[in-house]
Amino acid sequence: MIRYGLQQEQAFRLVMTPELRQAITILQYSSADLMSYLHEQADENPIIDLTEIDMSIERINNEEEHSPRKNDNPVDILDFVSNPADNLYRHLKAQLGMVRGLSKLQQMIAMFLIGNLNDKGYLELEVNTVAGILGVPTEEVENILALIQGFEPAGIAARSLEECLLLQLRYAGNDDVYLEEVVRHHMVNLSCNRIQKIADALGIDIREAQQITNQIRKLNPCPGAAFAPCEHQYHIADISVEKSKNDYIATVNDITVPRVGINPFYQRMLREQGMGKEKQFLHEKMNTALWLIHSLEQRRLTLMRVAQAIVDRQQEFFEHGVHYLKPMTQKEVAEITGLHESTISRAVSNKYIQTPRGLFELKYFFTSALGSKDGDATSSESAKMRIKQIIDDEEKRKPFSDQAITELLAKEGLELSRRTVAKYREELGYLSSGKRKIF
């Protein structure tokens, strides 16, 4: 029989308050994201005052003008920034403008063809299709296409990889029949590095076949790629590492984000009597601003603890390089710092650290451990660098197979499976030994 009644019991639950959610969000923000977030908060809250450090070129120039040491040959930082104005369309259009004697119809066909090249510089439309769209003879389109294919960069406006490579050979004045034969009929063998098959098909010596394939590999399969739009990504270091005597010290780069303060005008208003609802509104905004300041300080302290724990663990890496990178997990850092593992994950997310050995993402230092015969653990990143070194130094006529690399590493005390070696080799961007071989 079911009985109904009231029962009282105690239970503990973690309530995710808006303030706690804000603190968690702020911790995982990168410097750039945090900067945007603080500006949003300042726009919504009149209590918040943001003080930003002036990093403008004008300020730097003014300081240099008043400095007793002047540079006789000043360098403009903008000289090192690429000009995005020049793209493939404008580049080809400029060359078309130098061709004399074209009718308006021919210019229209040329502009249509130039405008329909993809980012690699290829024409994906058939000549018959273009002729149908424009309502012009197919022969006229072919003539104008041949004109454009004579423009720079060599190989532009090709309709296939083979045509692209042949255009480049002709542009260079190379009329070797063997080169054309390989491009027309043996690209599959070339991609698989089957040099002996190419030599047999052409009836030539394997060394001559190797020289021919080497020439073809120097050609550019994507002539338009150099003009493709490129998005530059700039990373701001959240942490800096510097050596002090025998130790490496981590510091948080506070300069990267504006400082949050309290507006003195509204602070005086809160001390005044009366005001009713307006004062209540200001009190709420004041509490929000104070909590934001507290959250920022907590972020700074957490980043400091996590970064210093990483730096202490990786002292040998900073001294000697990547081969001395120790395996490390977020769980280990959590135990060292006394923080929760999820806090470590948020702290290292989207963060960068400036070290004497370059700029690294904080996640770079978290690598899995690999066993060795002497009992010491080696990081996976260190193993990758050793594989890279082996392949770079190998005899190209007798490249190491994955199994041979596995055995070499085993002699050095690093035990990896052949499959793991193959995985790391592919991640490093190296082909298999058969495709690396030079005859």
Burial class (CB within 10 angstroms; exposed 0-12, middle 13-18, buried 19+) of 416: buried
Q: Which position has the higher pLDDT, 143 or 377? A: 143
In this predicted structure, what is the pLDDT of residue 16? 58
Per-residue pLDDT reduced to its tens digit, 350-368: 899 998 888 888 888 887 7
Q: Where are the domains of the chain?
A: 88-227, 239-365, 369-436
Among residues 420, 304, 427, which one has the least CA distance to residue 371?
420
Among residues 165, 170, 202, which one has the least CA distance to residue 183?
165
pLDDT > 70 in the chain, percent: 83
Per-residue pLDDT reduced to its tens digit, 42-58: 999 998 888 876 544 45
In this predicted structure, what is the pLDDT of residue 275? 63
Q: Which pLDDT band, with edges at 50, 70 and 90, does 146 fall under?
A: very high
Enumerate the H helices of 135-247 as residue ranges: 138-148, 161-171, 177-185, 187-191, 195-202, 206-217
Among residues 100, 97, 108, which one has the least CA distance to residue 136?
108
Mean pLDDT value across residues 91-102: 92
Contact 354, 237 (CB under 8 A): yes
Residue 119, SS3 per DSSP: coil
Phi and psi, residue 53, nearest 5°: -80, 130
In this predicted structure, what is the pLDDT of residue 72? 43
Q: What average pLDDT does the structure give for the chain?
A: 82
Q: How far is the CA of 264 from the CAs of 269, 271, 275, 295, in angstroms?
A: 9, 11, 17, 21
pLDDT > 90 in the chain, percent: 30
Q: Which pLDDT band, with edges at 50, 70 and 90, does 152 fall under?
A: very high
Distance CA 153, CA 171 (A): 10
User: Which architecture does CATH list for 369-436?
Assistant: Orthogonal Bundle (1.10)
pTM of the predicted structure, to 2 decimals: 0.58
Whether the predicted pLDDT of 132 surpasses 60: yes
Maximum Cα–Cα distance across the chain: 103
Q: Can you tell me which residue has the tokens 């009149």?
A: 46
Per-residue pLDDT reduced to its tens digit, 250-265: 998 877 778 888 888 8
Contact 153, 226 (CB under 8 A): yes
Would you call the peptide bond into 153 cis, given omega within 30 degrees of 0 as the criterion?
yes
Contact 340, 334 (CB under 8 A): yes
In this predicted structure, what is the pLDDT of residue 436? 81
Residue 60, SS3 per DSSP: helix
Q: Who contacts 367 (Cβ-Cβ below 8 Å, separation ≥6)? A: 325, 327, 328, 379, 380, 381, 382
Q: Which pLDDT band, with edges at 50, 70 and 90, does 10 fall under?
A: low
Least confident of 271-285, 290-304, 352-366: 271-285
Among residues 212, 13, 224, 219, which one has the least CA distance to residue 119?
224
Give the 3-state DSSP-derived string for 293-362, with helices as H, strands as E and coil as C: HHHHHHHHHHHHHHHHHHHHHCHHHHHHCHHHCCCCCHHHHHHHHCCCHHHHHHHHCCCEEEECCEEEEH
Question: What are the structure tokens assigned to 438, written together?
Answer: 């030079």
Mean pLDDT value across residues 389-411: 85
Residue 396, SS3 per DSSP: coil
- Count Cβ atoms below 10 Å from residue 303 Cβ, excluding itself: 22
Q: How far is the CA of 73 from the CAs of 56, 70, 76, 350, 403, in angstroms?
A: 20, 9, 10, 38, 56
Mean pLDDT value across residues 432-438: 79
Phi and psi, residue 90, nearest 5°: -65, -35
